Amino acid sequence: MAVTKKSIVKTASIKTDALKALMGAALALPGISTAAEQGYRSEDIEIGVHHSEYTESGDRMTVKADQLSITGPIAQNFEANFSATRDVTSGASPVVNFLDGNGKPQQFLETGASIKDQRDIYEGTLSYYGDNSLSSIKLGTSEEDDYTSDYFSVSHSIDFNRKLSSLTFGYGHSDDDVWNSYNPSVLLEEPSIFNTRQKDEFHIGFGQIINKNTTLQLALTYVDSSGFLSDPYKKSFVVDEAIFDFRDINIDIAGIFRFLVDSGAIRFLNNSGITKILNESPLISIPFLSENVLGVTKDNRPEKREQWISLLRMSHYFKSTNSALHTDYRYSDDSWGAYSHTLEFKWNIGLGLGWQVSPGLRFYSQHSAFFYDTFFETIPDHGYLSSDYRLAGFGAFSKKLEISKEFGRDFTVYLHYEEYERQYDYEQGGQTNGDPLDDFEFRTFSVSFDVRF
């Protein structure tokens, strides 16, 4: 979670190099070093500390994250950055949707047991600043209880037209190992299955300084993912896979599971060891029974996904109010059919005495993946199916507020707050597969500070 080191409000009307630096965050390949994002070389050792907290509505997921970042110059033209991040996730996430007595899908969450994980990320970046260029290489690793990733990225930016224009090229690659962290004491969990996946990312961007107050940025990114792209924890309800259609006999499966959760019965089975005995019994296969009796089928997605992401950003500085407005539009399309539109506004306002306030609005609309639905009557002919709410059709509004305060040139504090509301009927361009059961809200709060030596 990189923190911007310089304010557009202070520099946009003064130096064209500082104006050009605004292009970094939008044009850099995701995950490129803070040097590439800033567009200038650090003259001192800089230490950044970041803490954030994320909370979803409905007693769902809670995430707490901490990051330490150190950046410093090397010799005359190099800069090095190292960062370490740890986030801890707990709570619950939707596992499967069951049908209620009216044949409508309802989410099943196993609160307090579905998710409990810690992730550690370590990244190192080396950047070289030429007279009219910037080159960076990054190496990183990420490890969780059920996931490891080793990755690298490279980028090269070239200035021309008297440094009023720039081109940025980037490439990134990651190799991941993915498995389900099996806990035999949790209902509906299955023994671990180990899988691999890979991702290649190509990026090209163009930046143009229109005048001393205005910049324009264009970027295009292509992402090719292959291997195991399913979620090992998500499942779908398939009517034809169950022993019989529960709607025909008016059995409210969703209501039964909701009662078992609310009454504490499932928690009792898990904590008492009964679930573990059933899961480890050679005479009983819980995955077989859940699929053939209840119709609970594993999440199954295509083993290849191609994504195309385009970005248009306009930034304009208003001298009269000592403020700058950023307007971003992103369009993303992919081979899964989950295309999306994003429109975002951010207004940086300089208040003097080192204070800056940045309110923002963001709207996101997504078309559902071709293999997504809340439940399935039968397994589709292509064999792919998922009820993961992240692949549904929906729209979302975000309201953001950032506040920063500089104490001299060597110490800055940042505060960030965001409210996010997701609704299936906010989707633009016609409704696709989605449902109110996927609607939720979250809030995030973070605090950061930067120190220079």
Determine if the pTM surpasses 0.95.
Answer: no
Give the span between the Cα atoms of 396 and 373, in whole angstroms: 19
Q: Is residue 70 one of the residues assigned to a domain?
A: no
Q: Is residue 286 one of the residues assigned to a domain?
A: yes
Q: Is residue 8 one of the residues assigned to a domain?
A: no
Q: Is residue 404 one of the residues assigned to a domain?
A: yes
Each residue's pLDDT expressed in tens, for the chain with a length of 453 residues? 333 333 333 333 323 333 333 333 333 333 333 433 455 677 889 999 999 999 988 778 889 999 999 999 998 899 999 999 999 988 777 889 998 888 889 888 765 444 678 999 999 999 999 999 999 999 999 999 889 999 999 999 999 999 999 999 999 999 999 988 887 887 777 778 899 999 999 999 999 999 989 999 999 999 999 999 999 889 999 999 998 888 888 888 888 888 888 888 888 988 898 888 888 888 888 788 888 888 999 999 999 999 999 999 999 999 999 999 999 999 999 999 999 999 999 999 999 999 999 999 999 999 999 999 999 999 999 999 999 999 999 999 999 999 999 998 889 999 999 999 999 999 998 888 988 988 999 999 999 999 988
When divided into structural domains, the chain yields a total of 1
SS3 25: helix
- The CA-atom distances, in angstroms, between 342 and each of 6, 235, 313, 339, 364 are 25, 29, 12, 10, 5
CA 439 from chain centre, in angstroms, equals: 17
Q: Is residue 174 one of the residues assigned to a domain?
A: yes
Q: Positive or negative, the Cα torsion across 267, 272, 278, 282?
A: positive
Give the 3-state secondary structure of 331-352. EEEECCCCCEEEEEEEEEEEEE
User: Which H/E stretch holds residue 11?
Assistant: helix 8-11
Cβ-count burial of 172 within 10 angstroms (0-12 exposed, 13-18 middle, 19+ buried)? Answer: buried
Q: Is residue 289 one of the residues assigned to a domain?
A: yes
CB 374 within 8 A of CB 411: no
Closest CA to 135 of 44, 35, 208, 221: 35
Supply 244's token pair.
């019989």
Structural domain including 313 reads 93-118+160-452
Q: Is residue 296 one of the residues assigned to a domain?
A: yes
Side-chain half-sphere CA neighbours of 395 within 13 A:
14
Give the span between the Cα atoms of 236 and 242, in whole angstroms: 12
CB 155 within 8 A of CB 169: yes
- Burial pattern 210-232, b for ≥16 Cβ within 10 A else e, equals eeeeebbbbbebebebebbbbbb
Closest CA to 149 of 179, 176, 124: 176
Output the CA angle 397-398-402, nearest 5 degrees.
165
Q: Who contacts 132 (Cβ-Cβ below 8 Å, separation ≥6)?
A: 158, 159, 160, 163
Q: Is residue 171 one of the residues assigned to a domain?
A: yes
CB 151 within 8 A of CB 173: yes
